[in-house]
Chain A
């Protein structure tokens, strides 16, 4: 197994690592870089717990090779809050109790933010479609949808 040397950017910081060619970006982030906010649910792209953005595009990090990240820009849940200040979506997840066990939460936040970056006034249907790639076995989704709606409202107000 040949190691691949990768130089990339994670949450704005330059990062270098060496990983086996077949190692997923998910494993790299968790085990080599120490960013354990990204979770492994299924490992096959069905559950969305490992969601990140790669050059601004929402993807499952379990379906990306660590080697592919060379020169790309990655954002993970660790880059969402601004220091101690939570992103409005994070704040609304807490206020709306949109989480229970919490394993799916980082993925939902990343996917929810990706939606809100494109659309500050999504309908419930748009929210449900946008989050269809994220599975939650605790909440029943309603509270998550409400948190996204509330965060959208906050962001619209901030923008004014």
Chain B
């Protein structure tokens, strides 16, 4: 294996495109180096993106936030403006692993690792996040929900690198939240994850996005769930409709962490709770 640590995105893309063998992008390494250690991968090249300045920044832009692909969970949690605007996204990322893992793990790594149970991905989807992808010949910006195509699979082409994710600017009276269910209090993989982002106008939910994790081969954007709460003050009927829409969208596996029946049911319960938190953060009153 060769190790390269380029200082520009262009250089990283060139290295990855030219490699004839198996090439991997190394961000925080909290998934990739575990797979390396367990002999699940046999790389010819690893391209470390942590020396690329543009990938280490959290930038407040005219259109929202741009978070570099090498920004760690710890850095994310320390950015007050981001925590204020997108508490749900930051919480979701900060749920990943221990403090040791937080010092290294990245949102973009969580996205590109493409685990169905990734915590930050439903939160990003609910937030309307977009991935800024740089390839050999062009740059493209893709909604986060269109990146993961299956467990461990993404829509990225050979040589393409996600340079950053963008989060839109927050209108007043907005809130987001992410909740996951795990059998313990810390350090576990989601059995179900639910993210809700919404904006209120005159006390009523004007727009919303709801996303689920760990209940299907990919994280899901559930439009029917958002529709169930838009135009409401999140009354009990709206919450029941939200829960039903979330449960209906689930297509989970049966495994040691949770049965199909259990995951389907918990998705609805968590959706209600996450929606209540997001609504409260948006200043909504019932």
Q: Which residues of A contact B (CB under 8 A)?
A: 1-2, 4, 20-22, 24, 43-46, 48, 51, 54, 57-60, 62-65, 67-68, 70, 111, 114-115, 129-130, 132-134
Contacts and interface: CB of A to CB of B under 8 A. Distances in A.
A24 B99 contact: no
B36 A22 contact: yes
Contacts of B100: 45, 48, 51, 58-60, 63, 111, 133
The 7 closest A-B pairs by CB, nearest first: A133-B98, A21-B3, A57-B103, A67-B3, A133-B100, A132-B186, A22-B1
8 contacts: A21-B1, A22-B3, A22-B43, A44-B38, A51-B100, A63-B104, A67-B48, A130-B99
A60 B99 CA distance: 10
B26 A59 contact: no
A134 B37 CA distance: 19
A67 B45 CA distance: 13
A58 to B, nearest CB: 5
Nearest to A50: B100
A45 B97 contact: yes
B177 to A, nearest CB: 20
A114 B98 CA distance: 13
Contacts, number: 89
B187 interface: yes
Output the residue of A24, A48, A68, A134 with the most chain B CB within 10 A: A68
A1 B43 CA distance: 11
B225 to A, nearest CB: 31
B187 A132 contact: yes
Contacts of A57: 72, 74, 103-104
A65 B5 CA distance: 12
Contact of B98 (A20, A24, A48, A54): A48
A32 to B, nearest CB: 16
A65 B33 contact: yes
Given A67-B48, A130-B99, 12 more contacts: A51-B100, A57-B103, A57-B104, A58-B99, A59-B103, A62-B33, A62-B37, A64-B104, A111-B100, A114-B99, A132-B187, A133-B97
Contacts of A129: 99, 186
